[in-house]
Amino acid sequence: MNKVFSYFLLAVVPASVMFGCTSKQEVAFKHIGNPLIRHMYTADPSARVFDGKLYLYTSHDRDDTDQNAHFDMTDWHVFSTNNLTDWVDHGAFFSLDDVAWASKQAWAPDAVMRNGKYYFYYPIEQSMIGVAVSDSPVAGFKDPLGKPLIDNTGNKQTVGREPIDPAILIDDDGQAYMFFGCRDARVVKLKDNMIELDGEIQPVQINGIDQFTEKIGGGWYGEGPWVFKRGQYYYYMYSNGWEKDTTLVYAMAKNPMGPFDYIGEVMTPVGAGTSHGSITEFKGKWYVFYHSKLLSNQGKQRSVHFDEIFFDKNGKIIPLQYKH
């Protein structure tokens, strides 16, 4: 057993003991400080609130990950909580085995609820994004299309070089949007059924980043978009690269399609090599979820954290000072 995990598993008990669950996959644990998840490696957290309960969808860095392989990940996990202290890991609820049209690179996901159903969006093979649907937020997801929702085969100029990292926004008028892309920021509207595109894929315009270049940081767009609304503003968060001093940054707009104006850092760098996260409101407070390599010291065996964040009187994020 991994030495780090053998210590922290003392805080974990079977969900069947704590909550009367019967699934052998489920594991209950308590938040005892960052990292939040210590019994396995997780990354790319997408935090969603459904019916007053917070669900956290993550990618999964394996214990036997080859550090020389390119993020060889095979399934996704979902966690839930009513209070941010008591959590349940509902297990690997969806995997590459559930996708007939792809076979590798199960990377950063997202999920939303609409019309009583749950929609799970996942990137595969650095070139495609799929969608699965279920009546439950933690199990039973099926691929209704039998093919990708997004595919850049033969159309990289429009779709982007790497259509990964889907992030869904449903605005106040009920219009759904999918943001995605590595190096090439893209957005497309979705139809009400959430499994079809509604119009053309468009580039995301971020004003004020022209002076930044790759691996320099600042406002350069790398990957990992996340969009949420607070007050009159839409916040467009993303990663500005893959170096030890890169991090999550953001831009703001009054329209979900932009153009967005670059503001600055969401948080100081964690030194994980990758940055990917989400921001959500839960019970009247705002939280940022992100990952680090704190437990493993390996960039391909990451661990999810979360912290409360705050905004100034103008709606700007007060940058979180990362501590461990």
Render pLDDT for 272-302 as a digit per residue (tens, 0 to 9).
Answer: 999 999 999 999 999 999 999 999 999 899 9
Has residue 6 got a pLDDT over 70? no
Q: How far is Cα 226 from Cα 277, in angstroms, rounded to an integer?
A: 7
Cα(185)–Cα(246) distance, rounded to whole angstroms? 17
Count of CB atoms situated within 10 Å of the CB of 24 = 10
Task: Say if 323 falls within a structural domain.
Answer: no
pLDDT digits (tens, 9 = 90+) for 28-40: 999 999 999 999 9
Q: Does residue 324 sit within a domain?
A: no
Q: What is the mean pLDDT of the chain?
A: 92
For residue 183, the one-letter residue type is R
In a domain, 172, yes or no: yes
Q: Report the side by side order of strands in the sheet with 167-170.
A: 167-170, 176-180, 186-190, 202-203
Active-site residue set: 44, 223
3-class secondary-structure state, position 51:
coil
Token pair for residue 226? Answer: 């996340």
Total number of domains in the chain = 1
Residue 324 has pLDDT above 90, yes or no: no
**Cβ(109)–Cβ(132) below 8 Å:** no
Which residues, 6+ apart, have CB-to-CB distance to 249 below 8 Å? 218, 219, 237, 238, 239, 240, 262, 263, 264, 265, 266
**CATH assignment at residue 181:** 2.115.10.20
Q: Return the structure tokens found at 316.
A: 């700007």
- Tell me whether strands 223-230 and 117-124 are parallel, antiparallel or unpaired: unpaired
Alpha carbon distance 148, 123 (integer Å): 9
Q: What is the pLDDT of residues 69-125, one digit of tens each?
A: 778 899 999 999 999 999 999 999 999 999 999 999 999 999 999 999 999 999 999
With vertex at residue 110, the alpha carbon angle to CA 119 and CA 218, rounded to the nearest 5 degrees, is: 155
What are the pLDDT digits (tens) for 188-206?
Answer: 999 999 999 999 999 999 9
Residues 89/29, Cβ–Cβ less than 8 Å:
yes
138 exposure class (CB count in 10 Å sphere: 0-12, 13-18, 19+) = buried
> Does 266 fall in a domain?
yes
Give the C-alpha separation, 217 to 233, whole Å: 24
Residue 25 in any domain: the answer is yes
pTM of the model: 0.93
Token duo for residue 13: 């008990």
256 phi and psi angles, rounded to 5 deg? -65, -20
Strands 206-207 and 260-265: parallel
In a domain, 74, yes or no: yes
Which contiguous run of DSSP H or E holds residue 215? none
Q: Is residue 65 part of a domain?
A: yes
CA 80 to chain centre: 15
For residue 164, give its domain range.
Answer: 3-318
Percent of the chain at pLDDT exceeding 70: 92
